[in-house]
Amino acid sequence: MESEHIKGAANKAAGKAKQAAGDAINNKEMQAKGKLQEMKGKAQGVVGDAKDAIEEK
């Protein structure tokens, strides 16, 4: 399912950017939110992989 992969990649990129911004301004909350968003993106990628595997059968 391509849309899950796209959403996942977007969330991972946004999360990494948010973490970097948090690092730059020494904002622990922003760093944590960025990490959470990055993990959400990774999870969406896994969901996309699972959906792809199901569709192939």
Domain boundaries, the chain: 2-56
- For residue 11, give the nearest of 30, 49, 39, 46 by alpha carbon: 39
Taking the C-alpha atoms of residue 30 and residue 42, their distance in angstroms, rounded to an integer, is: 18
Q: pLDDT of the chain along its 57 residues, tens only?
A: 689 999 999 999 999 999 999 999 999 999 999 999 999 999 999 999 999 999 887
pTM above 0.85, yes or no: yes
Strands (E), 1-57: none
Taking the C-alpha atoms of residue 53 and residue 28, their distance in angstroms, rounded to an integer, is: 38
In this predicted structure, what is the pLDDT of residue 57? 72
13, 45 Cβ separation under 8 angstroms: no
